[in-house]
Structure 1
């Protein structure tokens, strides 16, 4: 799967940390799985071990005194040590008895007065016995107590080791996950800045934000929770199956029957969960997009009383999201803990019935310790299965989120080049350029003109005539469908985007300011733009007159989009930014259309400084501001219909003349 492959590729960047964490996890699981073996040893070798052979011996280590004689378990005799008469300590019901000779330990036991009766294979063994008091019985247990305590201490040590490794794997796995998501978010954000402007024409900002934040956070859960659970559960399952085989091969084979169940379970679950999660994450993106759009346009919503309609649209998306969340909830409930609980009970009943029945037969094929260990291991086998099932939801969410995030990364971006070129002169030529935002719907048709270094070229025309499209092509926000655009005789398609824009500047009608300070918005973090350069640029465009009253001057904080500043102040900062970058080609996109007359007068003075020595393109609404342009291009429906100076065009009395006269009339209307 493509998504899984990419997730693995990201994980491989921090494979040392992940491998280290998984090794610690494996050691933790191994230490934990030692528990049933320790319990079996305690039960079979020590608690039930007193029913093994005892021999009369001399007083010494591990010897037990009973009625003036000393006895030791056969297992505690050292090599070459002399063994005396063999005796037995047996349990019959709740009573422990002492038998002064060797008798069979297998078979059904009962008491007949002062006689012990052992039946096995149709044969009956009868022998005298002596009942043991609690104190006498504890005497026989004395050699076992330090050994049991030692095993308990050993098991406690394993638990501590398991806890330490568990902590280590959790810490390092989360550390690796955080590093992976940090890297992924950086990659996505960097890639967003490389995407062509065309991509954002049909992709709301809220949806892009959701992929950088929500989707990557869901992927983080994959590395932290899902990976840890799946790996630990897999190791647990393998470890339990191996342990069952070590104890009893039949138990191991029966344990294997549970594995196909989880495989079928996974396939059924994923069939439905993938569909639901795709819709859920899409609705989250839609909700983010709508919230982002509503906040940005809140003044319009409130001004036109659209609160109710906006609320209804949001509720529709939210209801759809809730509907599919409920479907996921039902799916998780049906395939979650309840079902695994039923399987667990059935499996335990089957094992207890089979092996427990064997332990009650005359052959006693399964010891009590073995039975305990098998039941414990079966419980441990079902626990990781439950862990895997519980992570299905997170796994599907992460895979869907990964698919969405990687689809953004798969979008073809612009090549980034660090190559610098000398500041070009700024001779611009459009040669038979045609362009459309949509296929076969051209907004520019056979555009041809040239602008020499230092010239000012004005673009005028009604809304939709193609003025801004020309500038979009010059900046290579889009590439033309036909024709060629050249700067200093070189096709701009042969110049990398970043390199091309290095010596270009733009001032928009609605300037965008970033969170920071006035100074940071002028320099945009460029180290070559010094404080002195910032101050000079602001002074040259007349901004010092308008901004001087601010308490912190250039260090005055700027919030998102410069919301605390007036339109004129934001525009002056934008002009100062363009001047500080010292571009060879300058574009003023209706830069004075939304500011007051007083500020416009200040800017007009600064514009002469700004245009000096630069090829300047002005997209203007107010035709009075472009009378001094070296050439004026009049566009209509994507074509240049008139071209010349202000005086020449006025003499022609064509479209430009009509537009100018309309603006100069009593109503002073604006060309669209």
Structure 2
């Protein structure tokens, strides 16, 4: 059953749930500490800044809460301890930018204006007119003096909370980013490991560039998902939750209005997921096609230039490039029309609702809303749209990562081969094909009722025209494929009862065009296998005669080689591949037209190396030059997937059948060349 992309992404994250949980806990603590700011500001404004606008009582004794004015001591009504003797009630009020002292108790709410020395207060109960004395800056400061220690304490508390929040925020960022990279490390390891378990026919049907794009480009997009997108989403959700809690604590009705923001965001995310996902699928697919096109062009550049196909190749690439540009433009348009604009529109609507609400209900004569609450609400409302903006701006990256993850998981859901690396004893090498028939495509049989046996230590050669099925026999023996009919046995044991790794564990192969990996000559022999020592590799190179050219190189056996061994000749690459096969000491050796591309001068050296290589093992040779297999114990002649003849070279020449005709044809060509 195919699992959803989101579920598989979650399962990867679940493997690191401990680190993620600690990171999220740090995030919650950091957010909670940071969001205390507006509440502290509210308390500071209402209690210690605007709070001096209050009823003050004349007192006899001076303490930390008393203010001195014209030789008398005054204390705010809310600072009285209940046992103090008090005198006259007075009031301090602000009108415009100035503060006034009134020697009697007057309402602290309502519309105020000053005319000469008269303060007029318009309240729901009526108009109040009283004499008021304007406070000088020094006199005003004396009323603020009792609040200064509390203000410093609150500011110090807020700074301390911000510092602690910064420490927790660092811990959260470090843990989440580290964990995200660990997740991608695990995912890339799993993807690459799965690629090595995929059957050969998968790679035949998929260009190498497309596979590479999934391992590199697509996993990098997923890394961005874990490192940036999910961290942003989690942070934003935690912030928004904290802000909504604070809004509800401040004012229930306005907080309910702000909740309308959530369904709008949810609807938009669904819309973006639909269109953004559709466009991103095309973009990611086109990137893979471009990688495949580039990879093919680089490998075939010599052919492209030789046949003057540069223009056509460029046009093919440009068609893909234009397609990529078109859909990227659609994604940009989709984001540009919404992301920043959407948040701005929502922010403006929220502030309109805020102004309407406070303007119509809270800023009248009754003045039920304090300045501190007003400030805190504006602060939280402003903060609310920052995570909203972050969420919306990360939607393109989220969809890109989701589509990339779908492509990666699609690759990982390809049925792979079971890996079983339990060692099997080195087999003797008796090979038997028991009436084997095989087709790459359904019912289109490449091999038809192939039946033969090769004894341990023998050399068997397979000859035939192109398409006769020679390479298919080797593919079956290596278990790159399994036959539809018949069975293949090694030492009497059906190869299907072993894992593919066990079947290949005692086999070696030398290809017509040997593959040389980037590294050194020595690493290409050992293949970095710890069981093959440096001395064993050097002995193998010497045994096949490769030391004749290796020891002339500047670094000898440690000479660096480039990709595909482009700095070496064909014969030199072939000798290294012989040494590689010899170092691994296989029980069965397969030579896939190993001398087909070798010049006549090098052929003698290669033939000597082959004699060393064949000793003590079963050797199966796909032959191109019939002159190289005359000493084979058995020769099998194939024609259109059917075994036509078998025997030694002498027997087949005597029979004057298909092998004889092929031999005579090659001999004739040799004579013509000599003339």
Q: Compute the TM-score of the two structures, normalised by the length of structure 1.
A: 0.97
1:166 offset after TM fit, Å?
A: 2.3
What is the aligned residue count? 670
The residue aligned with 2:411 is 408
Distance 1:146 1:431, change over 3 A: same
Cα distance between partner residues in 1 of 2:208 and 2:126: 88
Determine helix, strand or coil for the equivalent of 1:80: coil
Cα distance between partner residues in 2 of 1:29 and 1:264: 26
1:3 offset after TM fit, Å?
A: 1.1
Q: 2:518 aligns with which of 509, 515, 519?
A: 515
Cα distance between partner residues in 2 of 1:537 and 1:131: 105
Kindly report which structure 2 residues correspond to 1:107-506, keeping only aligned pairs within 5 A, or say none.
107-506=110-509
Cα distance between partner residues in 1 of 2:400 and 2:201: 29
The residue aligned with 1:2 is 4
Cα distance between partner residues in 2 of 1:471 and 1:619: 9
The CA deviation string for residues 549-569 of structure 1, in whole angstroms up to 9 with x for no partner, is 112221111221111111000
The residue aligned with 1:591 is 594
Note if contact 2:283-2:328 (Cα within 8 Å) is conserved in structure 1: yes
Note if contact 2:124-2:366 (Cα within 8 Å) is conserved in structure 1: no
1:42 offset after TM fit, Å?
A: 1.8
Cα distance between partner residues in 1 of 2:28 and 2:672: 78
Q: 2:22 aligns with which of 7, 20, 26?
A: 20
Cα distance between partner residues in 2 of 1:142 and 1:322: 66
Cα distance between partner residues in 2 of 1:454 and 1:649: 22
1:572 offset after TM fit, Å?
A: 0.2
Cα distance between partner residues in 2 of 1:582 and 1:78: 98
Determine helix, strand or coil for the equivalent of 2:87: coil
Cα distance between partner residues in 2 of 1:402 and 1:463: 42
Q: 2:104 aligns with which of 95, 101, 105?
A: 101
Q: Which shifted more, 385-394 or 106-115?
A: 106-115
Cα distance between partner residues in 2 of 1:128 and 1:547: 110
Note if contact 1:359-1:367 (Cα within 8 Å) is conserved in structure 2: no
Note if contact 2:219-2:408 (Cα within 8 Å) is conserved in structure 1: yes
Q: Which shifted more, 493-502 or 15-24?
A: 15-24
Distance 1:274 1:579, change over 3 A: same
Distance 1:635 1:668, change over 3 A: farther
1:576 is the counterpart of 2:576: no
Note if contact 1:586-1:615 (Cα within 8 Å) is conserved in structure 2: yes
Cα distance between partner residues in 2 of 1:114 and 1:631: 127
Q: Which shifted more, 522-531 or 508-517?
A: 522-531
Note if contact 2:571-2:606 (Cα within 8 Å) is conserved in structure 1: no
The CA deviation string for residues 560-587 of structure 1, in whole angstroms up to 9 with x for no partner, is 1111111000000001111111111110
The residue aligned with 2:34 is 32
1:235 offset after TM fit, Å?
A: 0.9
Determine helix, strand or coil for the equivalent of 1:593: coil
1:360 offset after TM fit, Å?
A: 2.1
Note if contact 1:28-1:166 (Cα within 8 Å) is conserved in structure 2: yes
Cα distance between partner residues in 2 of 1:94 and 1:527: 84
Q: 1:51 aligns with which of 50, 53, 56?
A: 53
1:550 is the counterpart of 2:553: yes
Note if contact 1:518-1:557 (Cα within 8 Å) is conserved in structure 2: yes
Cα distance between partner residues in 2 of 1:398 and 1:67: 72
Determine helix, strand or coil for the equivalent of 2:217: helix
1:16 offset after TM fit, Å?
A: 2.0
Q: Compute the TM-score of the two structures, normalised by the length of structure 2.
A: 0.97
Cα distance between partner residues in 2 of 1:526 and 1:112: 98
1:79 offset after TM fit, Å?
A: 5.5
Structure 2: 5+ residue stretches without partners: none
1:7 offset after TM fit, Å?
A: 1.1
Kindly report which structure 2 residues correspond to 1:610-621, keeping only aligned pairs within 5 A, or say none.
610-621=613-624
Cα distance between partner residues in 2 of 1:149 and 1:186: 55
The CA deviation string for residues 251-278 of structure 1, in whole angstroms up to 9 with x for no partner, is 2111111111101111111110000001
The residue aligned with 1:536 is 539
1:637 offset after TM fit, Å?
A: 0.8
Distance 1:669 1:371, change over 3 A: farther
Cα distance between partner residues in 2 of 1:97 and 1:604: 113
Note if contact 1:98-1:131 (Cα within 8 Å) is conserved in structure 2: yes
1:14 offset after TM fit, Å?
A: 1.9
1:140 offset after TM fit, Å?
A: 1.0
The residue aligned with 1:634 is 637
The residue aligned with 1:85 is 88
Note if contact 1:348-1:379 (Cα within 8 Å) is conserved in structure 2: no
Cα distance between partner residues in 1 of 2:347 and 2:464: 77
The residue aligned with 2:79 is 76
Determine helix, strand or coil for the equivalent of 1:435: strand
Note if contact 1:356-1:371 (Cα within 8 Å) is conserved in structure 2: no
Q: Which shifted more, 101-110 or 318-327?
A: 101-110
Cα distance between partner residues in 1 of 2:672 and 2:517: 33
1:83 offset after TM fit, Å?
A: 3.6
Cα distance between partner residues in 1 of 2:369 and 2:118: 27
1:667 offset after TM fit, Å?
A: 5.1
Distance 1:462 1:116, change over 3 A: same
Determine helix, strand or coil for the equivalent of 1:457: strand
Cα distance between partner residues in 2 of 1:113 and 1:557: 97
Determine helix, strand or coil for the equivalent of 1:485: strand
Q: Which shifted more, 661-670 or 229-238?
A: 661-670
Structure 1: 5+ residue stretches without partners: none
Note if contact 2:521-2:561 (Cα within 8 Å) is conserved in structure 1: yes
1:297 offset after TM fit, Å?
A: 1.2
Cα distance between partner residues in 2 of 1:273 and 1:668: 68
